[in-house]
Amino acid sequence: MTGISVLYLHHAGIFGGASRSLFEMIDNLPPGTVRPHLVTQRGVVAGLARQRGIPVIEAAGISQLDNTRYSHYRGSRWLLVLRELAWLGPTLLALWKARQSWRDLDIIHINEATMLPAAWLCRLLFDCPTVLHVRSVQRLEPGSFRSGLVGRMLQKAAAVIAIDETVRASLPPGMPVQVVHNGLTLAEPPAAPPYEGPLRVAMVGNFLALKGVHEFIEAARLCKEQGIAARFLLFGANARPGKGWKDALLGWLGFRQNIESELRQLVAEWGLQSMVEFRGFSIDLQEVYSNMDVLCFPSQLDAPGRPVFEAAFWGVPSIVATRTPTPDTLVPGETGLAIDKPGAQAIAGAVSHFATARDETRRMGENARRLAWRNFDSRKNAAQVLEVYRRLLGPRYPQQAQNHEPTAKARDGA
């Protein structure tokens, strides 16, 4: 068979930004150039891969080592190491099955830097180069044993891809890193219908405390008190919990919560029913982004996430919690507003700015649209990843696949 045989390793079964970005990339690789295979945690992602005709092996869990800036191990979070140790066995078993099933693999592509234990197992089991895709801001503190260990493990990869300049800046100095932005494939998105009501500010994604959803609701309360005409929309749902004993233990320890229930309780307690609307999860991006004026991304991760550039394609500016915005993702005052931290006061202040300056909202939205088309076109970005594969394989790259030119292969909601 022609094309580069790539094993993609993905860490989560729930559908989220990382899996959407992975499918966008695979869908837009030039036809005939890559034969994808997937090892992932059991869940929705595996089903979506099979719909695309991608062979899948599911694991009960994929072992990780989390040294990201927000969720690195500290305090009670050290207990999560027990889960990662328990998942080493399922990870090894899934990778062993992959080795037995797919004997002609050319590249291993790790879809998040937290999967370093799995990357180590891949080096033991497969005789092919590893591409490490870094999607989260790393915590690499000078003099820290843990950071030093993670840094050395990162440098074992044959190639490292960072999703933006913010992520690249968090990696060890001097490490060869290529920035390849996440992407979206669209014809020109249709213009949203005229809307003259209160400012619609929205969050998109799974309900997680680290994404600032509680602060978002509290900001709605502050806007109500200040008489700011705005509606607060949530397009998302709880991340689906597992049903095993490990997941039950995580819930008991407070690592798993029913966030939606907490949010609805706050809405009722503060009398925000007329201002806050739960729209549910949708893969129809047109339905989501054509029904908002401003995207809010008040994450504690200190970086713009995928919804920021998705919204930008629809001409929607963003409010982003980031102390160090980089111009490839957010230009403060031009494509949106940056707030120093995901606090309710800061969110409410940004909402007030947009609500009282609708011309500015539209101007920033158009600037955001231009930035999105320049940096986040999946066809161009998938071609960059293919060049990484070609460079690593050199003469091993199948010559017959080199004649294909990039073509779009967009899929709804991916």
Closest by Cα among 314, 310, 272, 264 to 293: 314
Higher pLDDT, 26 or 341: 26
Q: What local confidence, expressed as pLDDT, does residue 250 receive?
A: 52
Q: What local confidence, expressed as pLDDT, does residue 371 receive?
A: 96
- β-strand partners of 367: none
Q: What local confidence, expressed as pLDDT, does residue 254 receive?
A: 54
Higher pLDDT, 219 or 410: 219
For 358-380, what is the mean pLDDT? 94
Model confidence at 337: pLDDT above 70? yes
For 277-290, what is the mean pLDDT? 91
Model confidence at 368: pLDDT above 60? yes
Please tell me the distance from the alpha carbon of residue 168 to that of residue 176, in angstroms, as a whole number. 10
pTM, 2 dp:
0.83
Q: What local confidence, expressed as pLDDT, does residue 212 receive?
A: 93
Model confidence at 405: pLDDT above 60? no
For 135-149, what is the mean pLDDT? 83
Set out the domains of the chain in order of their start, with CATH numbers: 4-185+377-403 (3.40.50.2000), 199-374 (3.40.50.2000)
Between 19-28, 138-147, 225-234, 349-358, the lowest mean confidence (pLDDT) is in 138-147
Model confidence at 135: pLDDT above 80? yes
pLDDT in tens, 181-236: 999 988 776 676 678 899 999 999 888 888 999 999 999 999 999 999 999 999 98
Count the residues in the chain: 414
Model confidence at 142: pLDDT above 70? yes
Burial zone of 61 (CB within 10 Å; 0-12 exposed, 13-18 middle, 19+ buried): buried
Q: In degrees to the nearest 10, what's the CA dihedral of 372, 377, 382, 385? A: -30
Q: What local confidence, expressed as pLDDT, does residue 196 receive?
A: 81
For 361-378, what is the mean pLDDT? 95
Q: What is the DSSP string of 121-136?
A: HHHHH--S-EEEEE-S
Model confidence at 253: pLDDT above 80? no
pLDDT in tens, 49-58: 999 999 999 9
For 341-352, what is the mean pLDDT? 95
